[in-house]
Amino acid sequence: MSAVIPECRADADPDVIYEALDEAGCLVVHGMADAEACASVRAELAEYIEAAPAAEDDPEDFYPGKTHRVIALMHRSPTMRELMMHPVAEQLGDRHLLTNCTKWQLNVSAALEIGPGARDQILHREEDLFPYFPVPRPNLILASMWAISDFTVENGGTQLVPGSHRWSADRVAEPAEIVRAQMPVGSVLFWLGGTLHGGGANVTSDDWRYGIVLTYTLGWLRQEENQHLSMPAAEAFALPEAVRDRLGFSMDYGDGGLGFYDPSVLVAGKKRDRG
Ligand SMILES: O=C(O)CCC(=O)C(=O)O
């Protein structure tokens, strides 16, 4: 039997959405962003994408060549900040991550534009960042990929191995167990931190496949992308509290005060800026 990524609409029952994701380890949700929002994201990030180098050769590396990569998206794209707070993403984060923390936070924000000639990325698990936990690991990460262009089998649609979030570390995916995400612009692919996946090859199309990756992690883990350096503190503290929390500018109150700070330092910083 060939592998399948389940699909649903953003207005489906939240329990049905979570159960589909939990069961397969991946899920495409349609109708998450309208065409106007996707065009705004493109416009806001255009100068950074144009400036991002896409290696011409294709090294035997974790990251394939012929791909534009841009990070710090919460600083660079106000529209992406709004999309980050989409109720479906919030509900999935709560259901998946609050099992192991009291606050969850953005882990990585990256625009990935895969160009003609790019090869398949090596399959990996987002949670491989935390090798100290044995596989299958407890819930540590939720990942999402927002389609800013159509994703097809030909143009680099993300490779996924449904069900692999429950596999042991030594099981290797057979070709028939790997499926490529196909979705129209405005849909979002969600996958769990334990699900094997990787960028897709783009060897038969002339398109640049454009997706925005937002991954999330537990409030008490270190963020893979240092959000405190990707977003100036003064800017973070001008954002609504819920957004700032999602960026990780708050404490995880579990059994203590991880991430405590003195707000008067921020005020002092502002005074210094004013000269
Ligand atoms: O581009 C994709 O579809 C997935 C990218 C990915 O998994 C990565 O860059 O680690």
Whole-number Å distance, alpha carbon 238 to ligand 1 midpoint, is 31
Whole-number Å distance, alpha carbon 214 to ligand 1 midpoint, is 11
Q: What is the pLDDT of residue 63?
A: 84
Q: What is the pLDDT of residue 2?
A: 73
Q: Domain residue spans in the chain?
A: 7-273
Q: What is the pLDDT of residue 57?
A: 73
Indicate whether 275 pLDDT > 50: no
Sheet order of strands, 159-160 included: 179-180, 159-160, 197-198
Phi-psi region of 167 (alpha: psi -120 to 50; beta: other; left: phi over 0): beta
Indicate whether 239 pLDDT > 80: yes
Whole-number Å distance, alpha carbon 145 to ligand 1 midpoint, is 9
Task: Find the mean pLDDT for residues 109-119.
Answer: 96
Taking the CA of residue 189 as reference, the ligand 1 atom at the shortest distance is 3
Region 7-273: CATH code:
2.60.120.620
Task: Find the mean pLDDT for residues 110-118.
Answer: 96
Taking the CA of residue 197 as reference, the ligand 1 atom at the shortest distance is 7
Tens digits of residue pLDDT in 67-98:
999 999 999 999 999 999 999 999 999 999 99
| Phi, psi (rounded to 5 degrees) for 217 | -140, 175
Whole-number Å distance, alpha carbon 198 to ligand 1 midpoint, is 5
| 45 Cβ below 6 A of ligand 1 | no
| 145 Cβ below 6 A of ligand 1 | yes
State how far the Cα of 217 lies from the Cα of 226, in Å rounded to an integer.
Answer: 12
Please report the DSSP string for 176-200 in residue order.
GG-EE--B-TT-EEEEETTS-EEPP
